[in-house]
Amino acid sequence: MWLQELKKLVIFGVGLIGGSVALALKRAKVAPHIIGVGRSGASLQAALDLGVIDAVETDPAKAIADADMVMIAAPVAQTSDILKAIAPHLGPDTIITDVGSTKSDVIQHAALLGKNAVQFVPGHPIAGAEKSGVGSARADLFDGKNVVLTPTENTNPQALEAVYKLWGSAGARVCEMSASNHDGIFAAVSHLPHLLAFALVDEIASRPNAAQLFDFAAGGFRDFTRIAGSSPEMWRDISLANRESLLSELSAYQAELVKLKTLLENLDGAGLQALFERASLARNEWVSAQKLR
């Protein structure tokens, strides 16, 4: 499908991500009729008032009639309910995609679509912002950001190509990989750091002298724990959805902590310095590479 043929796009959940997709498409002069569907009438009305979407619909069946593409951008815990609700009403050519942070679980849920499952293209834009909600949506949110698509061997190549082009027109760098590879990568570089930050703050907050400890926490603590301010519900869902990869990451990290502790116990200054140097070098090279992108 060429994007010119994208006449009707239905977005379930018009928040930061869904709203930014709509704005990015408008910026790219890809101008489908965009219908927002969601649980919160106030949030959809805000999206309509901001000109992010063109219409609001509360009945999923009505919303998706004749839709060229359906994007699920609601909280991931709602994904299977949304798939169930739309499954009986999907046309054979309607493309379905999502924006969830975990992909193996979504592919399992997509079986709910029956014969339309081949039309489902799992996706994950690696973009976020401090604030959520449609009020924070921006046309440039995805510029230069990675979007990972995780098709299966059964995914319709035309559907995949359409979703690929959609994200490209929104300014993203699009790539493909298997869902299990995706989930392993994000367990390491995103899900594990979130859990480690939550764990540190919870551990400190549980102590009798927590107030004094927090009083002396400074800039390093602030940056390290920023992601511990994230949504507990969202991270509960991600943790459960990517449980296997996350458990394996936690084990690898526990082994690294044992290594570090042994260096400390042995007063091994050279070993500690070598570990810190490897980390510092890798981190600084990563920052330089990010700046070149």
Judged by CB under 8 A, the chain residues 216 through 245 that form the site for a second copy are 216-233, 235-236, 239-240, 243
Judged by CB under 8 A, the chain residues 253 through 272 that form the site for a second copy are 253-254, 256-257, 260-261, 264-265, 267, 269, 272
Q: Is 292 in the site for a second copy (CB under 8 A)?
A: no
Query: Which neighbouring-strand residues pair with 8?
Result: 33
Judged by CB under 8 A, the chain residues 29 through 58 that form the site for a second copy are none
Cβ atoms of 131 and 16 closer than 8 Å: yes
**How far is the C-alpha of 63 from the C-alpha of 72, rounded, in Å?**
13
Give the binding range for a second copy (CB under 8 A) out of 50-58, 67-75, 155-163, 203-211.
203-211
Q: Is 75 in the site for a second copy (CB under 8 A)?
A: no
Give the binding range for a second copy (CB under 8 A) out of 27-35, 52-60, 134-142, 249-257.
249-257
Min separation Cβ 2 and a second copy, Å: 29
Q: For residue 102, what are the CA distances in angstroms to 85, 107, 118, 145, 203?
A: 21, 10, 19, 17, 27
Sign, CA torsion 66/69/75/79: positive
DSSP, res 190: I
The four Cα atoms 278, 283, 284, 288 give a dihedral, to 10 degrees, of 140
**How far is the C-alpha of 276 from the C-alpha of 244, rounded, in Å?**
29
Min separation Cβ 139 and a second copy, Å: 19
Min separation Cβ 89 and a second copy, Å: 30
Judged by CB under 8 A, the chain residues 177 through 196 that form the site for a second copy are 185-186, 188-190, 192-196
Q: Is 277 in the site for a second copy (CB under 8 A)?
A: yes
Cβ atoms of 11 and 33 closer than 8 Å: no
- What is the pattern of x (binds a second copy, CB under 8 A) and - over residues 87-126? ---------------------------------------x
